[in-house]
Each structure stands twice: as structure tokens, then as C-alpha cells.
Structure 1
């Protein structure tokens, strides 16, 4: 279960990196099109941080229950 949580964390980082790449490439052409990618980048980074915190709490709770 924890491995799946770890993979989803990094999936959010991949989405953020792709969105940031699209922001950089499209900014010169049409800045109005980049707003959706800015939204995706911000949400993906926030979800990465949230999922990471949630996974660490889950691991700590599991460790505490085993002792």
C-alpha cells in the first residue's frame, strides 16, 4: 500500500514538470493559454506535498501500531 502512495506522489511531480515545461514553451506564443497549465502546476505541487505528508503520517501510525 505504501509503495502505491509513493508512486502517486511522484506522478503528481511529473504532471507539474510537464505543466511547467508547457508554460515556458507557450508563454512566448500566447500567454493566455498558459493559465490552465499554471493551474495544473500549482495543484500538482500542492497535491504532491499533501500526499507526501499523508504518506508519512500513515507510515508513522503503522510503525507506532507495530510497537
Structure 2
């Protein structure tokens, strides 16, 4: 279960990286279309941080219950 949570964290990080890449490549061509990718990047980074905090809390709770 914890490995799945770890993989979803990095999936959000991958989406953020792809979105930032798209912003960098499309900014000079179509600046109005890049706003959606900026939004995806910000949300993906926020979800990465949220899921990471949640996973660490879950691991700590599991460790406390085992002791």
C-alpha cells in the first residue's frame, strides 16, 4: 500500500515537469494556451506535497501501531 502511495507522488511530479516543459515550449508561440499548463503544474506540485505529507503521516501511524 505504501509503495502505491509513493508512486502516485512521483506521478504528480512527472505531470508537473511535463506541464512546465510545455509552458516553456509554447510560451513564445501561444501564450494564452500556456495558462492551463501553468495551472496543471501548480496543482500537481501541490498534490505532490500533499500526498507526500499524507504518506509520511500514514507510515508514522503504522510504525506507532506496531510498537
Shift, 1:30, TM fit: 1.0
Alignment coverage as a number of residue pairs: 67
TM-score normalised by the chain length of structure 2? 0.99
1:35 and 2:32 aligned: no
> What displacement does 1:13 show?
0.4
Normalised to the residue count of structure 1, the TM-score between the two structures is: 0.99
Match of 1:4 in 2: 4
Runs of 4 or more consecutive aligned structure 1 residues displaced over 6 Å after TM superposition: none
List gaps (5 residues or longer) in structure 2. none
Q: CA deviation at 1:66?
A: 0.2
**Which runs of no fewer than 5 residues in structure 1 stay unpaired?**
none
Q: CA deviation at 1:51?
A: 0.0
Q: Deviations over 1:1-43 (max 9, x none)?
A: 0000000000000000000000000000011000000000000
Instruction: Tell me the equivalent position of 1:64.
Output: 64
Cα RMSD for the two superposed structures: 0.2
